[in-house]
Amino acid sequence: MGAHLFTFFRSLKMKAWEDFTAASSLLCLALLLLSCQGIYYSFYQAFKNKAEAIASANKRKGRGDGSPGMLSWLVVAALAGSVNVLLTNPIWVLVTRMQTHTQAERKIVEAKKEALIKEASGNVLLDSSLSAQLAVLDSIKPHPYGTFQAACEVYNESGIAGFWKGLIPTLIMVCNPSIQFMIYETLLKHLRTRRVAKRQGSKNVTALEIFLVGAVAKLGATVCTYPLLVVKSRLQAKQEIGGNLSLRYSGTLDAIIKMIRYEGVSSFYKGMSTKIVQSVFAASVLFMVKEELVKAYALFSEKGRLKSVG
């Protein structure tokens, strides 16, 4: 009885430690993902200020109306996105590995089961021990898998370069925030122009309006670039999934060809509805918070300037 209790508490302790390790890893990654957003918006604001300064300089020279055009917003967002991708791609590789690890392990076990059943068919000796072998496979539990384990696995597979897997489609996906910010800034400019005309100089935009404009901008960008997101995730996920060669990709083009060949064009849009709900809401909130912070900073700066003058 004492031995059973010892085994029970030992397994309970191991399970608690595994849960704690997994939770700690996810918390660290969540903080890192928040820092990714901070990096992007920091560079975007810096490039945006530069674009606005160039537009103002051009206006003084008699060119333009003093505000950046649609092409300028595309370039600003593309530059910010490219810098963000180069700095944060390793984080996304680890996140994708951790999200797909359990599924990958399950598929490996299923592939082993299929191989055993195929080998046992027609062989009486193997068939008699098949149920025992299948029971052993069913009893296998996924190993503890945190940030450190994911990083070691990526390094063992491909070295340092493995942390930048999927970089090409990710860089191409820079067009997602580029399209998003182009739509956002264009709609915001149009809204403010109408507000000036109707309210005689007032061009304040409410938080709700920014939320809705941000939602429309993110929706348009997500629909355009979601297939690239799927390809990137496939490349960054664990490649050795059983013996299924259709799920092993040597590069971006190979992934696209195999997905079309084995799964059809619809595979590029799997899970898009969930992604739209999640990303559109998140982007809308971020836009709203960003604009409110910019307004607060401008207000405090103006108050500080007036105090210094007074």
The residue with greater pLDDT, 2 or 298, is 298
The residue with greater pLDDT, 169 or 242, is 169
How confident is the model over 167-195, as pLDDT tens digits? 887 787 777 777 888 888 888 888 888 87
Look at residue 65 and give its three-state secondary structure.
coil
Structure tokens at 171: 């860089």
* Statement: residue 5 has pLDDT above 60: no
Do 113 and 77 contact (CB within 8 A), yes or no? no
Task: Indicate the pLDDT class of residue 239, thresholds 50, 70 and 90.
Answer: low
* Statement: residue 272 has pLDDT above 80: yes
What distance in Å separates the CA atoms of residue 225 and residue 74, rounded to the nearest whole number? 15
What distance in Å separates the CA atoms of residue 166 and residue 81, rounded to the nearest whole number? 15
Structure tokens at 26: 């996810």
Q: Tell me the C-alpha to C-alpha distance, in Å, between residue 44 and each of 4, 51, 73, 83.
A: 60, 10, 10, 10
Do 174 and 225 contact (CB within 8 A), yes or no? no
Q: What's the number of domains the chain is made of? A: 1
> pTM score, two decimals?
0.49
For position 1, what pLDDT does the model report? Answer: 41
> What does the pLDDT average to over 273-290?
85
* Statement: residue 137 has pLDDT above 50: yes
* Statement: residue 15 has pLDDT above 80: no
Do 252 and 235 contact (CB within 8 A), yes or no? yes
What distance in Å separates the CA atoms of residue 291 and residue 69, rounded to the nearest whole number? 19
Do 47 and 87 contact (CB within 8 A), yes or no? no
For position 281, what pLDDT does the model report? Answer: 87
> What does the pLDDT average to over 56-78?
81
* Statement: residue 307 has pLDDT above 80: no
Q: Is 194 exposed, middle or buried (0-12, 13-18, 19+ CB in 10 A)?
A: exposed
**Count of residues in the chain:** 310
> What does the pLDDT average to over 118-134?
63
Sign of the CA dihedral 227, 251, 85, 154? positive
Sign of the CA dihedral 161, 163, 166, 171? negative
Determine the structural domain holding residue 135 and report its residue range. 2-309
CATH number at residue 26: 1.50.40
How confident is the model over 195-234, as pLDDT tens digits? 777 765 556 788 888 899 999 998 988 888 888 888 877 8
What distance in Å separates the CA atoms of residue 40 and residue 177, rounded to the nearest whole number? 10
Mean of all residue pLDDT scores within the chain: 75
